[in-house]
Structure 1
Amino acid sequence: MHISVSRGLGPGQLRASRAAGPEQWPLALPADPYTASLKSEIESDAHEFEAESWSLCVEPAYAKRHKREAVKRQDVLYELMQTEAHHVRTLKIMLKVYARALQEELQFRPKAVGRLFLCADDLLEMHGHFLSRLKERRHESLEEGSDRNYIIQKIGDLLVQQFSGENGERMKEKYGVFCSGHNEAVSHYKLLLQQNKKFQNLIKKIGNFSIVRRLGVQECILLVTQRITKYPVLVERIIQNTEGTVAASPSYPVVLRGWSLSPCPLF
């Protein structure tokens, strides 16, 4: 497993920042270019989906112009995009905060980091791409002259591209590896906490950073494991709230067939 930290500080800067004390560690410095860009990157993914639902995201008058069924469908599509943004954020925290810190602060080799975050880099690549496509579809659906009001008419093509064919098989393969190694990863993490004081101190320090919102390594692993079980439910709800021939399209059953059984042995 290779995790790039090329955007981090140089060895001299790292040593100087460590000498300044725990609060001066690079990831804790808002003024540090890497930290600023990382925080911006993580927060920007979820910025468009801060509202609790589509109904609260668009202007009230715009929402009232649409039938109840249309509103319910947009709410489900919004939930899909919102939870995908949260998932990408979790993966970025795993890789760009925890994994980077382990490599730069404790000199963990990529293989050692990979024992904690199996295939996480592959998952981030796949879900980052999916989130980008979802956001593009949202932008394409904006009402002319508005940066807030939109109705997404078509979503099945994106679901099929993500969850069937080569992409679908790759996702099942990577999640199979991640989920089957869940217990071992958590056990290894707990062992490191018990036996490695530097590891323990580093994890505690990172847990206080606002960028992670107290999302620990164990919580990240569990959230990623659980994510794969949510898609069949979301797709089923999209079908239930899609009218006519669109709902009867082969697109949705293809997705459901591919993901009705989670590759995660925990559920």
Structure 2
Amino acid sequence: MTDHGDDELSSRTGSPDEEGRVPEERSLLHQSLAVRELIDTEVSYLHVLQLCALDIRSHLQQLPQGDLDVLFSNIDDIIKVNSKLLHDLQETASREEEQVQLIGNLFLEFQEELEQVYKVYCASYEQALLLVEAYRMEPQLQREIQDTIEAVLPQAGSSGLSFLLVIPLQRITKYPLLLQKILENTLPDASAYPVLQRATSALQDVVTNINEYKRRKEVASKYTKVEHLSLRERLARINMHTLSKKTTRLGQLLKQEAGLVPKTEDKEFDDLEESFHWVSLCVTELKNNVAAYLDNLEAFLRFRPQEYDLDIPGGPVVQYCYLARDLQLQTFPEFMGTLRPRKVGCRARGHSWSVRVGLEPSPATSKAPSPCALPSATSFLNSQVHLSPQKQRLEALVWQPLCSLAKALAGPQNLIKKRLDKLLDFERVEEKLLEVGSMTYEEEAARHMYEALNSLLVAELPQFKQLAVRWLGQILCTFVTLQRDLAKQVLQRAEGSLAQLPHHHLSDPAFRKLVEDALGQTSHQLHSFQENFEKVLPPPTTQPLLPGAEHQVQALLSRYGPGKLYQVTSNISGSGTLDLTLPRGHVVALLQDKDTKGNSSRWLVDTGV
């Protein structure tokens, strides 16, 4: 009986191996459920993204394209990366024994891609929320958007757009939690355990890096806004805090210039800034040159000698005039009309966006800059004529892109200036930290602000510069192509007339010499006419000196010499500030043949008094 009781007790308690196997099986079960949760939620997540990209976005056609670009950002890139990730996750199911380790390796492999696509989306999330708030101010539009979303995705509920926009953010932050759950149910001595540890840590780093990138973007957007403020608005912003900051920065700068404290050397950034500065100068120079080209083109079109009677009986001149008239009527009218500047960028309800390239902010909460208008001198002749294809190409492919590029450069330029201010704050804080060993919360914030700006510029300025150079090169190539097309049209239309001209048989050098000789002969004739004309001009009249003026004239003569002395030929009555009142016959010495404003009709003279 006793033995039977012992056997019964042993059967109830189980062996030690069986007791250890129960928690292990439970962990494996929970691990399998965690893996299943990861894959199933990935399927649902990708399905929602595809609904957003294909169905919802295509049905929101009442919104401007610029709004859709901001709302859905780079969702297509996210779908592409997550589709590959889901496919590889599902492939691991066929290798159940190694599945957990394969999942860890997969996330290590996709770490960089996930960070790249999600940081772009997260950085534009705040801009998308601003749009959502703007739509709520228009009930009819809000209702249309809500109906569209509920028809495709009923679970969105009343949140609508806000529900959709936050889904990618929630997903990227959930990956570390899902991996952590799998890790917690993996035995420490399993071969997959260290791989899962690295994968979990890697995804946590991804989330941290995305948050840091988003913070830097927010800092940059604060300083890249180019505001056009009046003097009164600028003065209204001055307070004791800003005066204190600017005074401190000025003091730090003066100490550096005096050599009392060292400057922070950053050769990497200095090289980037210099190269970016040269790109900005090239854009400005090209813009000025294009404006000058348009001015010169207007002057060329205004000059029409063939419309005037030159009183020439015949000869080559008449034939050349006929050719000029034909070209003026057939080819050059394509350049007539008025260039109509268009606003660069897109317009949304309640917000405006500038060209969003690299560091350029979007949306701008300040007043939108005025459209990039063409130079006043480029309002071409005959404004009633419609824009020709050639003129439209010149405007759309050269001038407007050039204006857009110049605007896009304004944001980074402003950010570089702000970095210099923040660098002075950073240097002052570092100096204090060495002396005291501590810093205030505000000083720590200033330190982090500089580090964020500097890191962002060092990371993105090379890409922005590369894009700007490529953009500039395309504009130049387009302009050259337009000029080549114009020259080709002129040659084609003039080909028939050229054969009838008396000098068509001459080579280019011979024709050039013929023209130079003709111009030289004409110039000689004009010079001879000028000499003959001057011979018959009456000599300048000499007025008698005023009584008692001999001493004054002698003083001026000894001081300035005879070449600087002039005599007043008529009475002068001064009416403005510093104007002189002088009688006829008064002698003065010329000091400058224009006033301080460059007006050549007012001279600066010494009366000798």
Correspondent of 1:100 among 35, 46, 58: 58
2:64 aligned with 1:114, yes or no? no
- Which amino acid is 1:116 matched to? L
Q: 1:196 to 1:155 in 2, by over 3 A?
A: same
Out of 228, 234, 242, which is 2:172 matched to? 228
After TM superposition, the structure 1 = structure 2 runs for residues 196-211 of structure 1, keeping only pairs within 5 Å, are 197=140, 199-209=141-151, 211=152
Matches of 1:247 and 1:214, distance apart in 2: 37
TM-score normalized by the length of structure 2: 0.28
Indicate whether 1:77 and 2:35 are aligned. Answer: yes
SS of the residue 1:106 aligns to? coil
Query: 2:154 is matched with which residue?
Result: 213
Partner of 2:318 in structure 1? none
Contact map agreement 1:98 1:217 (CA 8 A) in 2:
no
Per-residue CA deviation, residues 92-148 of structure 1 (Å, 9 max, x unaligned), is 22212221112xx32742x4312001211111111122122222333x25xxxxxxx
Q: Aligned letter for 2:154? A: R
Preserved contact between residue 164 and residue 255 of structure 1 (Cα < 8 Å): yes
Number of residues paired by the alignment?
A: 185
- Partners of 2:97 and 2:53 lie apart in 1 by 32
Please give the residue correspondences for 1:49-68 in structure 2 after superposition, counting only pairs within 5 Å: 67-68=25-26
SS in 2 for 1:242: coil
Change (3 A) 1:108 1:158: farther
**1:204 Cα deviation from its structure 2 partner:** 2.4
Q: What's 1:168 paired with? A: 111
1:135 aligns with 2:90: yes
| Gap change, CA 1:252 and 1:169, over 3 Å in 2 | same
Q: Could you list the runs of 5+ residues in structure 1 that have no partner in the other structure?
A: 1-65, 142-150
Query: What amino acid is aligned across from residue 180 of structure 2 in structure 1?
Result: E
2:113 & 2:139 partners in 1: Cα distance? Answer: 35
Q: Please state whether the residue corresponding to 1:245 is helix, strand or coil.
A: coil
Distance in 2 separating the partners of 1:213 and 1:153 = 38
**Matched-pair contact (CA < 8 Å) for 2:42–2:86:** yes
Q: How far does residue 152 in structure 1 lie from its aligned partner after superposition?
A: 5.9
Distance 1:241 1:95 in 2: 36
1:107/1:218 CA distance change after superposition, 3 Å: closer
| Matching of residues 29-48 of structure 1 within 5 Å | none
Q: Which residue of 1 aligns with 2:393?
A: none
Structure with the larger RCO, 1 or 2 (CA within 8 Å, 6+ apart): 1
- Tell me, yes or no, if the aligned pair for 1:94 and 1:217 is still in contact at 8 Å: no
Inter-partner Cα distance in structure 2 for 1:195 and 1:113: 17
Whether 2:192 is the aligned partner of 1:237: answer: no
Q: 2:121 aligns with which of 147, 166, 178?
A: 178
Give the Å deviation of 1:256.
2.2
**Percentage identity across aligned positions?**
19
Q: For residue 173 of structure 1, what is the amino acid of its counterpart?
A: Q
Q: Relative to 1, partners in 2 of residues 1:128 and 1:245: Cα closer, same or farther, differing over 3 Å?
A: same
Distance 1:189 1:152, change over 3 A: farther
Give the direction of change, closer, same or farther, for the CA distance of 1:186–1:107 in structure 2 (3 Å limit).
closer
In the alignment, structure 2 segments of 5+ residues that lack a partner are 1-23, 216-609
- In the alignment, which residue of structure 2 is the partner of 1:88? 46
Q: SS of 1:208's equivalent?
A: helix
> What root-mean-square deviation, in Å, do the aligned CA atoms of Structure 1 and Structure 2 show?
2.8
Q: Cα deviation per residue 1:161-196 (whole Å; 9 max; x = unaligned)?
A: 3x335x322211221121222222111122134248
CA contact (8 A) 2:101 2:196 kept: yes
In structure 1, C-alpha distance between the alignment counterparts of 2:145 and 2:100, rounded to whole Å: 40
Gap change, CA 1:220 and 1:233, over 3 Å in 2 = same
Q: Which amino acid aligns with 1:83?
A: T
1:243-266 per-residue CA deviation (whole Å, 9 max, x = no partner) reads 3332344x2233123221412469
Letter in 1 for 2:192: A
Shift of 1:223: 2.0
Residue identity matched to 2:149 = G
Structure with the greater alpha carbon radius of gyration: 2
Q: Give CA-to-partner distance per residue, 1:2-61, whole Å, 9 cap, x none.
A: xxxxxxxxxxxxxxxxxxxxxxxxxxxxxxxxxxxxxxxxxxxxxxxxxxxxxxxxxxxx
Q: Residues 206-225 of structure 1, C-alpha deviation per residue, up to 9 Å, x if partnerless?
A: 2332x412422210111211
